[in-house]
Amino acid sequence: MSPRGTSEELRVAVIGTGRMGADHVRRIQEVTSGARVSAVVDLDAERAKTIASRVDGCTAHTCLCIRDRADVDAVLVASPGPAHEATLLTAFEHGLPVLCEKPLTPDAASALRVLEAECELGRRLVQVGFMRRYDAEYVRLKSLLETGQLGRPLLLHNRHRNVASPPGFTSDMLISDSVAHETDVTRWLLGHEIAAVTVLRPTPSASAPDALQDPQFVVFETDGGAVSDVEIFVNCGFGYQVQAEVVCERGTARIGDGHAMVTHMAGRWGGTIDQDYTVRFADAYDREIQAWVDATRRGEVTGPSVWDGYAAAAVCEAGVRALTDGGRVEIDLVEKPPLYR
């Protein structure tokens, strides 16, 4: 293993070489400083070999075989959520720092097991991939709220729209895969835990696949007395939009309008709308990975923690129950361990 606190590159094993994993391999090799991809892991051996062939000295594997490897200093997990728990526990066994894409795990029980395992280690190893915390607009909004100029936050309005849902996307996944981001954003921006969730079901859009409840309107109540709502609409048809507006006692602040450039031509004015999250949040992903690499090389773990991943899993689980059964569902979190305070 490379020593921390030196100029040596961090050798990263990327677990999962689908769209997200492949993009992270590219990012580490082409954008990030101080790191390189030394191994990729995927159950699809041919896909892993294809990705590995693009990186000098990178090896391809179908399982995370760390025990006898001397070329892995850290792990980036971009595999499907159900596989995360086993990968994280394996990394814990070998003391390897991890950047784990959200979700930490798909449900609160498994997330709690990961939390308990990390607490047993007595030190943090995991940063969870809630990349909106690294987006420039969200960072500015968080900084403004922390100044107190606007007073106490009362309401947070969120909009999350996708052009179209991928094949196999279910009504539950609007909560667990998409609103998971607003779950973390609400907790992070407001500094509150989410205490209860309600999900309203408008008439589904004609553009939504059969049986998909799209859009949905999610309402979070926080333990700090604020209310956060989320419009989630994954088949809006026109673009990818993520917007947030905080309403405070002495003012409001809004981000995500995407008006970096407005054109006037041929009797019309307007701009463009991003079509994909990899475009809208490209810079956030870049900053997130660089921050993780820099901290890991210093021997530190920063950013969203396993506690944040567990809290998001618990809220999303309650949200799915609210969607399925109707009504208001309260969230019961375990006491926050000292490791995360």
pLDDT digits (tens, 9 = 90+) for 242-293: 999 999 999 999 999 876 556 656 777 776 677 766 678 889 999 999 999 9
pLDDT at residue 5, rounded to an integer: 44
Complete domains list, the chain, with CATH: 10-132+284-304 (3.40.50.720), 136-280+312-340 (3.30.360.10)
pLDDT at residue 257, rounded to an integer: 86
Query: pLDDT tens digits for 285-301?
Result: 999 999 999 999 999 99
pLDDT at residue 71, rounded to an integer: 87
pLDDT at residue 261, rounded to an integer: 59
- pLDDT tops 80 at residue 226: yes
Task: Label residue 208 by pLDDT band (50, 70, 90).
Answer: very high
Cα dihedral sign for 327, 254, 185, 82? positive
Instruction: Give the chain as a 3 state SS string.
Output: CCCCCCCCCEEEEEECCCHHHHHHHHHHHHCCCCEEEEEEECCCHHHHHHHHCCCCCCEEECCCCCCCCCCCCEEEECCCHHHHHHHHHHHHHCCCCEEEECCCCCCHHHHHHHHHHHHHHCCCCEEEECHHHHCHHHHHHHHHHHHCCCCCEEEEEEEEECCCCCCCCCHHHHHHHHHHHHHHHHHHHHCCCEEEEEEECCCCCCCCCCCCCCCEEEEEEECCCCEEEEEEECCCCCCCEEEEEEEECCEEEEECCCCCCCEEECCEEECCCCCCHHHHCHHHHHHHHHHHHHHHHCCCCCCCCHHHHHHHHHHHHHHHHHHHHCCEEECCCCCCCHHHC
- pLDDT tops 50 at residue 201: yes
Weakest-pLDDT range from 62-66, 176-180, 206-210: 62-66
pLDDT at residue 1, rounded to an integer: 41
Task: Label residue 2 by pLDDT band (50, 70, 90).
Answer: very low
- CB < 8 Å & 24+ apart, contacts of 106-112: 106/81, 106/82, 106/176, 106/313, 107/313, 107/317, 108/310, 108/313, 108/314, 108/317, 110/85, 110/313, 111/306, 111/309, 111/310, 111/313, 111/314, 112/310, 112/334
Q: What is the pTM of this model?
A: 0.93
Query: pLDDT tens digits for 51-97?
Result: 999 999 999 998 877 655 678 999 999 999 999 999 999 999 999 99
Average pLDDT over residues 34-63: 95
HSE (side-chain half, CA atoms, 13 Å) at 256: 20
Q: CB within 8 A of 30, min separation 6: which ones?
A: none
Weakest-pLDDT range from 123-132, 177-186, 268-277: 268-277
Weakest-pLDDT range from 3-12, 111-120, 309-318: 3-12
Task: Label residue 215 by pLDDT band (50, 70, 90).
Answer: very high
